[in-house]
Amino acid sequence: MTTSSHAIRAVGLQKRYGEKRALDGFDLAVPPGMVYGLLGPNGAGKTTAVRILATLVRLDGGRAEVAGIDVARDPRKVRRHIGFTGQFTAVDEILTGRQNLRMFGRLFHLGSARAAARADELLEQFDLTEAADKSTKEYSGGMRRRLDLAASMILAPKVLFLDEPTTGLDPRGRNEVWTAVRSLVSGGTTVLLTTQYLDEADQLAGRVAVIDHGKVIADDTPAALKRRVGGDQLEVVLEEAVDLPVAAQTVARVAAGEPEVDEEHRRVTAAVEQRVTALTEVARRLQDEGVGVEDIGLRRPTLDEVFLRLTGHRAERDDPAADATTERTEVPA
C-alpha cells in the first residue's frame, strides 16, 4: 500500500460484530493538509471506520495506515500522531480554560513549564485568551467545543479525527468551531470529519466520501458530487396550483431531464444546463401565458440531495445507544 502521499489510507477494511458486517471492504485515501468529510446514513459504518483508524477498535481484515504508520502493527506510535474529538466535550467545568489545557498537557507528559506555555499558545490560537481564567461552566457551547479542540491539539497531531464536532451547537457556536477547524488545516493538520450536517461538510470539506453498508460508494469534491444530481436546478413556485401543468410543460422545454412537480408547494423543479438562458426563457414564456409566478430562481443541488440519490436514504444522526451495543470500543495493546 503506497502511503507517501496520504495522511490516512485504508484498503479493504473488514469489521464484524456478530452477524453484523459493519465494514465490508472499506477503502479510503486522504491527502495531507485538508478536511475530508465522511458521510453515511445511520449504521453505514463510518463510526466504526473512524474508531479503527484512531486505534480504538481492532480491524478484522484489510490494512490501514495513519501518518504513514500501520494501525494494526503499531497502534501506540499512531496515537502519538493523532488527536480525537468526540461528540461530547471532555473538559472539566470546575477548572478554568487555562487549567484544563495545563492539565491535559501534564497528562500528555509535558513538563510543567512546557504545559503552561502550550496552554497559552492554544488559548491564543483558538481565540480563548480573554476567557482563559474563567470557569468553563461559564463558557458558551461554541467556546467549550473550541477548548475541547484545543485540548486535542496539545501535541500538535498530524491527523485529527472529529466525530460530529458541532452536534447540539447553535449557529454561532457552529461558526466558531468551523473557524477553528479552518485554522487547524491552514497550519497543516489533516482532519477526518464525520458529521450529521451536510452543510457542514459542504462548508469545510475539500473532499467527501459517502459510505453505505460498510463501503465507500462515492468519493469526490462536494462540487463534483453535486454535479451527479444534474448540475443547476431551475425552480418555479406558482401563485396558483391550477397552472402547474402549463409551468411543467414550459420548464420541460429547457430542462436536461423530466421536471419534478410538487403540487403541495405549487413548485416545478428541473435540472438545466444553460442556466441563465433557461431562467430567462421560462420567465418570458410564463409571462406570455399569463401564469402568476410567486418565485423563480436557480440553485445548486445540496449534498443532502446527492446523499439521497446515492444511498436511497436521508442522512441520519448515529444513535449513541446503538453504538454502545454494536460498536464496542476495543483499545489494542
Give the CA radius of gyration of the chain. 24
CATH 3.40.50.300, domain 8-81+157-225+310-326, yes or no? yes
Q: List, in sequence order, every residue forming a beta bridge with 260; answer none if it has no partner.
A: 269
Around Cβ 101, how many Cβ atoms within 10 Å?
28
DSSP 8-state secondary structure symbol assigned to residue 191: E
Distance between CA atoms of 105 and 122, rounded to whole angstroms?
Answer: 11
* CA pair distance 160, 100, nearest whole angstrom: 19
Q: Which three cell numbers stand for residue 267?
A: 413548485
Grid cell 504513514 in the structure block, residue: 68
How far apart CA 158 and CA 49 sit, in angstroms, is 18
Locate cell 445511520: which residue? 42
The residue ranges of the chain whose pLDDT is under 70 are: 1-4, 229-231, 313-333
The pLDDT score that the predictor gives to residue 230 is: 65
What are the pLDDT digits (tens) for 91-100? 888 999 999 9
Cell (9 digits) for 133: 481564567
pLDDT digits (tens, 9 = 90+) for 14-36: 999 998 899 999 999 999 999 99
Question: d(Cα 154, Cα 114) in Å, to the nearest integer?
Answer: 10
Task: Report pLDDT for 251.
Answer: 94
Domain at 230-300: CATH architecture: 2-Layer Sandwich (3.30)
What residue spans define the domains of the chain? 8-81+157-225+310-326, 230-300
pLDDT at residue 330, rounded to an integer: 46
Please tell me the chain's helix, strand, coil percentages from 3-state DSSP, rounded to the nearest 5: 40, 25, 35
3-state secondary structure 260-311: EEECCCCEEEEEECCHHHHHHHHHHHHHHCCCCEEEEEEECCCHHHHHHHHH
Residues with Cβ within 8 Å of residue 187, at least 6 apart in sequence: none
Picking from 24, 333, 4, 52, the residue whose alpha carbon sits closest to that of residue 192 is 52
Q: What DSSP state is assigned to residue 135? A: B
**C-alpha 96: how far from chain center:** 30
**Angle at the Cα of 201 from the Cα atoms of 197 and 203, rounded to 5 degrees:** 110
pTM: 0.74
Q: Are strands 159-163 and 61-66 parallel, antiparallel or unpaired?
A: unpaired
